[in-house]
Structure 1
Amino acid sequence: MIIVQARLLHGSAYFAGEEVECQLTFSNPPKPDGVLRLSSDIETLAWCTAQIHCQCTLSAPNLDGGPGVDGSTVDQHSPDSTYFNPTRGERGVTVMISQPRILFCNIKLAPGEKTVYDYKERIPMDGVPPSFRGTFVKYSYKLTIGTQRPDSAISEIRLSFRVLTVDGLKEMSTYINKDEELAPSNPFQLCEKGKETKPEHTVRDLALQLLSEQSGKRRHNCYNISNLHGKVAKIIMNKNSYKIGDDLYCTFDFSEATIQCLQVTVTLQSVEEMANEQTEREKGSIVISHANHLEICLHMSKANVALPIPLHITPSFKSDHVSLTWKLHIEFITLTTPIEPQCPPPQDTQGTHWHGVTNLETETIHWDLPITVLSNNPLQCGLLQSLRSEETITLD
């Protein structure tokens, strides 16, 4: 019996361009004390290989851009076949697959022995979609490890992981690699023999720096909301780009309003649209609400809204099959008949009971504000993921 354990060393979320590192441990359990060891107890593994791939599944059956898009499997080999295919049994089409890497051939393990192998593979930085589970399209990334004992079927381990993309990362990494002399240096960096040691810029460092620049651009944006009857409110936002996991802040100013606003609701919504060449056959888009904030604002001069952006959502992106954009859907409920503020009479020392109005004549105003949702640190994004970074199988 051989126990195979696969573990992702850096969690289950990565930036496109990073290396996926997996540690593989093969062990032959020791025999109980007093049990005689025989030569037949030595276990043999013929080979082991690993690949990563991205699978695309389209839910609409009439969008058949290739074999397997309608949900059929991409490989029809029998389970007992000696042909290794990392996408065996998967649905949809493969949009990215790495080169197969053979980790070993013909190893023998005596009882109590184990061996460890490391697998590393870099996710392409350009041209790959992020992990996405939408209504029309699903992109999923998996690492498949295949191994086989002599005269036995292939055994596989599959580990799912999340991929986040960052626009402009490829250009930034190229600039850093070519112009290291122009890269900012640290004057407090330790020196060796009078020379400053140059720090190594990892893909994650560059991605986080780029995301900080993209989400840190602040601009005072004001939007005046009005209808046929007059001014409703002024919306004030300091930026339009946010990272997942951030809080989105906006202020509603009613000080110059000529119409009373009873309630305002802010909802974070995603808009999923098929690519242009496919929307001719599948019209429309899917709008999904992810978070909302309701504020009662009658007789208020200002109202502040803080809307958390969930960590599990997918940032804005566009691929060959689908585009995902984000917006704030804002709904105002205004009064057609004003309500005067109720104040107790000055001479009343006993207090006054004020009962709310039972019938109100209202109108509703809907307004959409496009925003950009960016990626965030994979360590933070992986906190709420249900993906397992470790898997174990037993080969009898």
Structure 2
Amino acid sequence: MIDVHACLVRGSVFLAGETIECIITFSNKGQSRNETLAWASAQVHCQCSVSDSKVKLPTPKSIQQDATGFPIDSVTSFTPNRGEMDLCLHHGEKGICVVSTTPKILVCDLMLAPGESKTYKYYETIPQDAPPSYKGQSVKYSYKVAIGTQRVSSPTRLLRVPFRVLVLYGLGDTFFMDPDDDYDTDNPFLEGERKPNSLLDQAVQVLTTITSRKSANTYNITNSRGTVARFCIFKSAYKLGEDIIATFDFSNCPVPCIQYSVTLQSEELITEECRRRPNQGVCISSYSKHQEFSVHVSKSHMILPIPLHITPSFITDIVCLKWRLRFEFVTSKEPLPEQVIPADQSESATWQGPQNIGVETMVWNLPIKIMPTNPLHATSVSLLRAVTTMSV
């Protein structure tokens, strides 16, 4: 019996364009005889599975496919994503492999004595134009490091290590790569040659540059009877894990606001050529929510956290994901009775609200931009296991 142990060195979250390092150990746990492994290879692939009732996958005419939907030219003796296809079909979904790196041979004819172990390192760069990891209502993109092994006279076995990919668009722009940029994180007091920043350092610099720009935007929220509130938000681009902070001003507004709520929502839109139905709408998913009563309140504020596990805005040939803030204002149809404040400070008074009040609900959507965060921060809350073991 040979145990195969795979471990992603840095965790389970990476940026597109980064290099994955995976340590793979083969161990003979037996105590009586030598064990031989015929071969072992590794490969990174991304499987796109879709809801068959909502999405039809495009099939390029220039690529011939086999019976399972894979390009004939890419079919080899080691195709780790075939197991993913079988799983999708079992759950009534259809999918394709959208990213597949060239398999790399780790070892051939490996003989292990009882109790002996051999360790190998596998490196692979995630394509810069790869889609991000995403699990939506209609589309799912999932990444895995697939390790194929085979003992002599035994079937092939696959060990899969899942991981998450974040995509930061514009990472290669020269504007952010300029060494004279004010946001450069290099220490100017260190002597010697300036070393080029790693891809992760560049990404953190880009994210800091974009999400630190504050420019207060104020909106007058009105209905047919007048102004309900004035809303002020301090920026429009946020990182995963940040808080969205904004203020409401209800003073000098003729329309009384009884209650308001703000919800962070995603909009999943299937591209026109991939829709099953021409009139197919947008899939909405809600996440964090802030809700407060605002009767006789002149000013209020909200703090809405952005979860670390969600997927930032992105677009592919199949799906487009956007983010928005959905506001719901419950307003009174008639003016509310004023609270009488005693002239003498030694006296007190209690305001009794009306038993019945006519209200109406007003809805407003504000688009926002959500960007990735440092993968090391996202790893801390990831549910994906960076370590996997199997026996062959």
- Contact 1:249-1:305 at 8 Å conserved across structures: yes
Letter in 1 for 2:270: M
The equivalent of 2:209 in structure 1 is 213
Q: Does the CA contact (< 8 Å) of 1:125 and 1:170 recur in 2?
A: no
**Which residue is equivalent to 1:56?**
48
C-alpha distance after superposition, 1:220-244 (max 9, x if no partner): 1010011121111110011111111
Equivalent residue of 1:99, what SS? coil
Please give the alpha-carbon distance, in whole angstroms, between the structure 1 residues aligned to 2:384 and 2:68: 22
Aligned to 1:98: 101
Match in the other structure for 2:145: 143
Aligned equivalents of 2:358, 2:119: Cα separation in 1: 72
Match of 2:64 in 1: none
Q: 1:203 aligns with which of 188, 195, 199?
A: 199
Aligned to 1:112: 115
- Cα deviations across residues 120-165 of structure 1 (Å, max 9, x unaligned)? 1000112x11001111111111110011111111111001110000
What one-letter code is carried by the residue in structure 2 that aligns with 1:252? F
| Aligned counterpart, 1:3 | 3
Q: Deviations over 1:339-371 (max 9, x none)?
A: 233346557978555443221111211111010
Q: In structure 2, how many angstroms separate the alpha carbons of the residues matched to 1:350 and 1:205? A: 63
State the alpha-carbon separation in 1 of the partners of residues 34 and 196 from structure 2. Answer: 44
Q: Which residue of 2 aligns with 1:188?
A: 189
AA aligned to 1:335 is: S
RMSD over aligned Cα atoms: 2.4
Corresponding residue for 1:163? 165
Say if 2:125 is the partner of 1:122. Answer: yes
Q: Distance in 2 between matches of 1:257 and 1:288?
A: 32
How far, CA to CA, are the matches of 1:168 and 1:110 in structure 2?
Answer: 51
Q: Structure 1 residue 257 and structure 2 residue 253: aligned?
A: yes
2:14 is matched with which residue?
Answer: 14
1:289–1:180 CA distance, 2 compared to 1 (3 A): closer
Give the aligned partner of residue 336 of structure 2: 339
Matches within 5 A, 1:52-91: 52-61=44-53, 63-66=56-59, 83-91=77-85
Q: Work out the CA distance in 1 between the residues paired with 2:69 and 2:148.
A: 17
Q: Secondary structure at the match of 1:169?
A: coil
User: What SS does the aligned partner of 2:22 have?
Assistant: strand
- TM-score, length basis structure 2: 0.88
For structure 2, the residue ranges without an aligned partner over 5 or more in a row are 61-66, 71-75, 86-94
Preserved contact between residue 242 and residue 374 of structure 1 (Cα < 8 Å): yes
Q: Which amino acid aligns with 1:52?
A: V
What does residue 34 of structure 1 align with? none
Shift of 1:3: 1.3
| Aligned partner (choices 357, 371, 375) of residue 372 of structure 2 | 375
Can you list the C-alpha shifts for 1:284-317, whole angstroms capped at 9, x where unaligned? 1111111110011111111000000111111000
Displacement after TM superposition at 1:281 (Å): 3.4
Residue by residue over 1:41-92, the C-alpha shift from the partner in whole angstroms, topping out at 9 and shown as x without a partner, is 111111110000111112034614249xxxx9657xxxxxx93211122131
Larger radius of gyration, structure 1 or 2?
1
Moved over 4 A (4+): 72-75, 179-185, 344-354
Contact kept in structure 2, 1:52 and 1:97, CA below 8 Å: yes
| 280-289 or 128-137, which deviates more | 280-289
> Which residue identity does 1:248 align to in structure 2?
I
1:326 counterpart residue number? 323
How far 1:250 sits from its partner (Å)?
0.8
Worse-matched range after superposition: 282-291 or 301-310: 282-291
SS in 2 for 1:170: coil
Look up the match of 2:357: 360
Tell me the secondary structure at the aligned position of residue 89 of structure 1. helix
Cα gap change, 1:377/1:342 in structure 2, threshold over 3 Å: closer, same or farther?
Answer: same
Q: Contact conserved, 1:63 with 1:281, CA < 8 A, in 2?
A: no
The residue number in structure 2 matching 1:131 is 133
What is the count of residue pairs matched by the alignment?
A: 368
Q: 1:194-230 deviations in whole A, cap 9, x for unaligned?
A: xx13224111111111111111121110100111211
**Distance in 2 between the 1:90 and 1:250 partners?**
44
Name the SS of the counterpart of 1:45 in structure 2.
strand
The aligned residue for residue 27 of structure 1 is 27
Q: Distance in 2 between matches of 1:254 and 1:324?
A: 33
Shift of 1:187: 2.7
Task: State the TM-score, normalizing by the size of structure 1.
Answer: 0.87
C-alpha change, 1:73 and 1:159, in structure 2 (3 Å) is farther
CA distance in 2, matches of 1:298, 1:107: 75
> How high is the sequence identity, in percent, across the aligned residues?
42
**Residue type of the alignment partner of 1:393:** M
Shift of 1:105: 1.0
Distance 1:180 1:104 in 2: 42
